[in-house]
Amino acid sequence: MTARLRIGAALLLTVVAACSDGTSSAPPDPPGPAATLRLNEAWLAGTHNSYWVDRGVRQDLFSSGVQESLLDQLVADGARAIELDVHPDDRNPHRYRVFHTVPGNSLCDDLADCLRPLRLLHAALPRHETVHVVVELKKFSGSSFDAEHSVDDLEAILEESLGPWLYRPRDLLDACDPDAADSDPDLTSCLARVGWPSVAAMRGRFVVSVLGNFDDLLPQAKGTLDWATFTLHGDLRTRTAFSMASSWKLDWDALPQKIRDELSRDALERARRRAVFLQVEDTADPNLPVFLEGGAMVRIDGAFTVAQQLERSALGAQILQGDTPWIQAEDRGPDQPLRPLDASLGEIVEPGSHVELVVPAGDASVARWRDVPAGRATRWATLPSIGGESDALPCLAAAAADDDEADSLAICRDKVHASRTPGAALGSGRPDSEALHLVRRVCRAGLCRQEDVTPVEQASDGAAAAPIARATLAEQATVGVMLGLEVTARDGRSCAQALVAVDASDDGEPLWHRAGEPECLAEPLRAQGLLVLAQGGKGGPAVFAGTSVAIDGRRDEL
């Protein structure tokens, strides 16, 4: 396994005279096998209970999860599959909540709020590798669907959150039945005939698949019936999400009697033919090779160690499920989240800017600066992240000089690390574990002060409205943030305004809010860019995704 820690250094880069126009076409994809490999011919790390962190709720039985910020899973660790467990929201019709068995140990509560970090990822990396969103119907005490919480309601939330970038069942069906001649198409047969699009063709897309299998814990539990209800609902061509079958629930004779009383053998078989994703928990599962032969994608459990991941990828499984995404076989860094199942084919490099800087322990800092001539107006944007074992503080900064003693302003993203003490009792975590917060750092005359700030509501430059937020702006910032920094000349001085985005518009642009007041200096802020600080004498790596700077309105990528 290749270590991710690389030695960072302060770099001074000169601004080129002609930056790429923000409205111009995207640069070509990096060379490699992505153009010819199909989506199911590469494997990736996925996370189990991606929302889950111990926040002090002891009654959350049988629970575990990644215990890491969603964006850190996606950016620092390179996970390209997440899992969200959903329950109908008894307080709000047509809405779904995210938790395991009881509310509380979740990074976010409302499903749309949990999907918002994915919108930020897309804003930073519009050509990201396909992200698989696994939604599990988790209600134990009854059905996940009722008169006020329907299949259509669940898919409407997915549409309002990810709609512009979704790959849907109809996209696959159009390749094998463009005239829609079959009123009840067999999706598995379609996939076997035409296959998935290439990795490159699927970049910038989200694929949602829905599963449900809990039948045995309580008499009222109907997970498999909920899955079948979801899978068989309506015309496949109008559907938002795919179906993920649970392999051990495909034998009708082995299902609990309460499920067989409401789900016929024929209906189960029809649902199976609509499912092109499979959940597997046993490497010897007989359904695994059958589904893979038909081109389906298999999500397989137990991929915690390098050896387990290599074993499962050797079987051909593509989505390797675990709670430790920072442990990955054949890890080549944050710009290569996918690996070909046939390793001889080379590297799959994700398009976009991925900058990784490592700050050593101690009172240390590492920067990557750009030298900006005086009087130029700039706007920076980046999606910062740290791995599970890093204490680094990633920032956007503007300084009078490339010097630790220079006057400067920085906006940074910090978080409260979750405790991962082996053997710790469930419910021993802090209520704010893994919550992100913003730090504003101002240095003058060699003295620096840091203060927590919250984003302030402001106009978003006329951008399209984002999905309805159930959480407040401050609560959204604890789940996911992009950082921005705007530097302008004002009355002979150079002024810097810290910005933060907790969401993006439907055209993929960050929706910016102010974070604190502007800071103005008498001398130009010529050194601008990425800054990483050690904290409490500890350092580590920081990853910045999609870093860009607009200079006098013209955009360039770092």
Confidence band for 465, pLDDT divided at 50, 70 and 90: low
**Burial status of residue 207 (CB atoms within 10 A of its CB: 0-12, 13-18, 19 or more):** buried
Gyration radius of the chain's alpha carbons: 24
Q: Once rounded to an integer, what is the mean pLDDT over residues 83-95? A: 97
What tokens were used for 314?
A: 């050797």
Given this model, what pLDDT does residue 466 score?
Answer: 59
Instruction: State yes or no: pLDDT of 354 exceeds 80.
Output: yes
Average pLDDT, the chain: 91
d(CA 382, CA 531) in angstroms, rounded, equals 12
Q: Residue 16: what pLDDT? A: 33
Q: Of all helices (H) and strands (E), which one includes residue 162?
A: helix 151-162
Q: How far apart are CA 515 and CA 439, in angstroms?
A: 9
Distance CA 227, CA 386 (A): 36
Contact (Cβ atoms closer than 8 angstroms) between residue 380 and residue 397: no
Q: Which run of H or of E encompasses 499? A: strand 493-504
Tokens 């910045």 sit at which residue? 544
Closest CA to 435 of 177, 16, 55: 55
Q: Which residues pair with 540 in a beta bridge?
A: 359
d(CA 489, CA 189): 62
Rounded Cα distance between 397 and 526, Å, is 11
Pick the more confident residue, 481 or 558.
481
**What pLDDT digit, counting tens, does each position of 141-191 carry?**
899 999 999 999 999 999 999 999 999 999 999 999 999 889 899 999 999
Question: Measured between alpha carbons, how far is residue 70 from residues 336, 408, 439 in Å?
Answer: 18, 30, 19
Q: What integer pLDDT is reported at residue 26 of this predicted model?
A: 61
Predicted confidence at residue 405, as pLDDT, reads 83
DSSP, res 406? S
Of 517, 473, 479, 523, the closest CA to residue 499 belongs to 517
pLDDT, mean of residues 418-446: 93
The pLDDT value given to residue 459: 52
Q: How many CA atoms lie within 13 A of 63 on its CB side?
A: 27
Torsion over CA: 251, 256, 258, 259 (sign): negative
pLDDT at residue 11 is higher than 80: no
Tens of pLDDT, residues 290-299: 999 999 999 9
Q: Do the strands 354-359 and 540-551 form a parallel or antiparallel pair, or are they unpaired?
A: antiparallel
What sign does the dihedral 506-507-510-511 (CA atoms) show?
negative
pLDDT of amino acid 558: 76
Helices assigned H by DSSP within 466-517: 473-477
C-alpha pair distances (Å), 314 with each of 42, 246, 253, 320, 346 = 11, 21, 31, 11, 16
Helix (H, G, I), strand (E, B) or coil at 501: strand
Indicate left, alpha or beta for 536 from its phi (over 0: left) and psi (-120 to 50: alpha).
left
User: Is the whole model's pTM more than 0.75, yes or no?
Assistant: yes
Q: What is the mean pLDDT of residues 260-266?
A: 97
Range of weakest confidence among 376-380, 416-420, 458-462, 513-517: 458-462
- Is residue 5's pLDDT more than 50? no
What pLDDT is stored for residue 450 in this prediction?
94
- pLDDT value at position 324? 94
